[in-house]
Chain A
Amino acid sequence: MSDRGDHQVSEQIAAVKLTAITKRFGSVVAVDNVDLEIADGEFFALLGPSGCGKTTTLRMVAGLEFPTEGSLKIFGDEAGTLPPNKRPVNTVFQDYALFPHMTVEANVAFGLKMQRVAKQEIAGRVQEAISLVRLEGLEQRRSQQLSGGQRQRVALARALVNRPKVLLLDEPLGALDLKLRQEMQGELKALQREVGITFVFVTHDQEEALTMADRIGVMNEGELLQVGTPAEIYEHPVNRFVANFIGQTNLLDASVVSNDTVCLANGVHIPGKSDLPVGTRVAVCLRPERAGMHPPEEVPADQQSVVGRLESVTYLGNALVYTVVLGWARLEVRRENQPGGYRPHVGEEVAVSWTLDAISVVRA
């Protein structure tokens, strides 16, 4: 279900296709030469820290900003210079931007009215959209009388009622509290499956992106660093930034010795696959939950290890996080909280170990 690989993208017309898109604000490059294809029916996340250009990219698709350079196609049609009202896309704004002087019903009907859809049809489609987001009974309320979650549903209905070819969502869950956010994550995904429309959403929350998206595009400083399924991005990040941004990780400085060996910063050679040129500075990415921990003399033969001193233990309830200091690095190891097993004490010497498939070598 979540595996919409690249092979599918190239076969059909992309819902959104950016080619060498650049956006400058004065001398600031907000989006730098981005190429991106989003497939029809896909749930796509643009992920990155604030100021990385993800929102600007979304706004360019919406027509709220015009690209400085490059081509932007929506279902094959060049759309980069069209005003927002001439594009088959709709946006769910970050703070929902509901019209405060209109009722829920009037908000939802707005787009259809502007398109001069016949009155009877408007009434039917508005009702349909309102029941799609389960807001029946609130038609006559104004946005000030709604809770955050309800406002978000209105914003969704207001956009979806137009049957856009692409729905754009700018930090759709950002304004909600944690519990509601988790609830809405599942709901948004179910909704997307139900309506079958391409969803493109912007978020700075990696967990949200991993949970909801079919594919993720990670951006930083205007550049699109990596595009892939959540698993691809989590397990094979292309560089240090992506590895760090998606989930918790340990990064050990190293350099490439050959295509299957790297030299750690402490001078030890370990197996590590990469296709980077010899001598390239890299980082070995070891996720805390993929690292093992043993007494130094009991490391299994098939595992690599480094030895350090246990500095602290953080108790999380369902898991324990051990911080191990190596002198040249610091590692976190996460173990499920299960009875028995190895429970070292603070100050003891421990070996942090891993199998070859637990690590990935990324550009520093």
Chain B
Amino acid sequence: MTMVADRPEWLEEAAVATPEFEKAAERAASRRGFLLSLPAYAYLVLFFAVPLGIVMIYSFATRNRFGGTDLSGWNLDAYRKLGEPIVRDILFRSLWLAILTTLICLVVAYPFAYFIATRTPLVRNLMLVFVMIPFWTNFLVRNYAWRVLLGNDGLFTNISEALGLGERELLFTTSAVVIGLVYGFLPFMVLPLYASIERIDLSLVEASRDLYASGFQTFRRVLLPLSMPGVIAGSILVFVPSLGAYVTPEILGGAKTTLLGSYIVTQFLTARNWPVGASLSFVLMAVMLVATLVYFRTGGRNL
């Protein structure tokens, strides 16, 4: 009793814990959390969930003769159209290019990320800044720069001629699109890979070498499995935007190689077939959703 005596009176009163007080405090905390996150919720609902609903409604609608959209007759015609050879080809081509882009990014980025992760902190941070530098220039501008490099009298054509490989026209080919996509999305592969490799205890690499593993075996048995979360995160970050890419294929690709993004835009703007554009958008989103789920099921938990 004497020990409490020099405490202020109000504190003595309020400091006695009761279940009621505890409950009230918990309720207040959760109310505070909800109020603080309300702006973000409202924004997402208004500008993401609602438009998404609209797109979904349109995907079940019918295009009328005048290029308008009839919301009255709901059907699956737009989705059936996706099975037609033209659309299917575009879908598979886009998928293939996205997979190719992802694989190239993975192969190029892994050693680089490992290199960064094993430097001293100062060098590490500098190199990470270098990875980010391209973001300082507008994406569109960078794509047009590639047009110059790959074009008729561009650097690549000149090098190929100088090497005696003949005049290679790269611009407006699928290769140009892949080059552009790899260039554009490489940082999205490097960063998650770096983040997961950086967390691996490098003495595990030493232990593996000590236990008779070669350099490659160490990569396959120790580094790769332990950096899987980064591999998966990076792959999704590259695969998803590559699949729906619009700017790069438009600027660097030819008219012959229409990809998903361009096709959707055409359906909305030129063909004025909103239901088909909407249904294709929805299928694309479903693919991405599946990819993201795969990520969370496999490696995401460990991130």
A positions within 8 Å CB-CB of B: 62-64, 83-85, 89-91, 93-95, 97-101, 110-111, 114-115, 158-159, 162
Contacts and interface: CB of A to CB of B under 8 A. Distances in A.
A115 B212 contact: yes
Given A85-B213, A95-B203, A110 B208 contact: yes
Contacts of B201: 95, 97
Contacts of A62: 210
B221 interface: yes
Contacts of A98: 207
B197 to A, nearest CB: 14
A102 to B, nearest CB: 9
Interface of B: 201, 203-204, 206-214, 217, 221-222, 225-226
Contacts, number: 60
Given A84-B210, A93-B206, 20 more contacts: A63-B209, A63-B210, A84-B209, A85-B209, A85-B211, A85-B213, A90-B210, A91-B210, A95-B201, A95-B203, A97-B201, A99-B204, A100-B226, A101-B225, A110-B208, A110-B221, A114-B213, A114-B217, A115-B212, A158-B211
Contacts of B206: 64, 84, 91, 93, 97
Nearest to A95: B203
Contacts of A115: 212
Contact of B211 (A94, A100, A101, A111): A111
Contacts of A110: 208, 211, 213, 221
Contact of B207 (A63, A83, A93, A101): A93
A97 B203 contact: yes
Contacts of A158: 211
B204 to A, nearest CB: 5
25 contacts: A63-B209, A84-B206, A84-B209, A84-B210, A85-B213, A90-B210, A91-B210, A93-B207, A94-B203, A95-B201, A95-B203, A97-B201, A97-B206, A98-B207, A99-B208, A99-B222, A110-B211, A111-B211, A114-B212, A114-B213, A114-B214, A115-B212, A158-B211, A162-B211, A162-B212
A96 to B, nearest CB: 8
Tell me if B's interface is mostly helix, strand, loop or mixed: helix
Contacts of B222: 99
A101 B208 CA distance: 13
A83 B212 CA distance: 9
A183 to B, nearest CB: 24
Contacts of B221: 110, 114
Contacts of B207: 91, 93, 97-99
A129 B206 CA distance: 21
A85 B201 CA distance: 19
Query: Residue among B208, B209, B210, B212 with the most chain A CB within 10 A?
Result: B210
Contacts of B213: 85, 110, 114
Q: Chain A: interface secondary structure?
A: loop
Q: Of B203, B207, B209, B217, which is in contact with the most chain A CB atoms at under 10 Å from its CB?
A: B207
Identify the interface centre among B201, B211, B214, B217: most chain A CB within 10 Å of its CB: B211
B161 to A, nearest CB: 44
Nearest to A59: B206
Nearest to A91: B210
B188 to A, nearest CB: 25
Contacts of A111: 211-212
B211 A90 contact: yes
Contacts of A162: 211-212
Closest CB pairs A-B (n = 8): A111-B211, A97-B207, A114-B212, A97-B203, A84-B209, A114-B213, A85-B212, A84-B210
Contacts of B203: 93-95, 97
A204 B300 CA distance: 41
A110 B201 CA distance: 17
A93 B205 CA distance: 11
Given A97-B201, A110-B221, A85 B210 contact: yes
A310 to B, nearest CB: 41
Contacts of A64: 206, 209-210
A93 to B, nearest CB: 5
A115 B213 CA distance: 8
Nearest to A94: B203
A303 to B, nearest CB: 53
Nearest to B205: A97
Contacts of B226: 100-101
A99 B220 CA distance: 13
A237 to B, nearest CB: 34
Given A110-B221, A114-B217, A97 B212 contact: no
Nearest to B209: A84
A266 B203 CA distance: 53
Contacts of A94: 203
Nearest to B221: A110
B122 to A, nearest CB: 16
Contacts of A99: 204, 207-208, 222
A111 B211 CA distance: 4
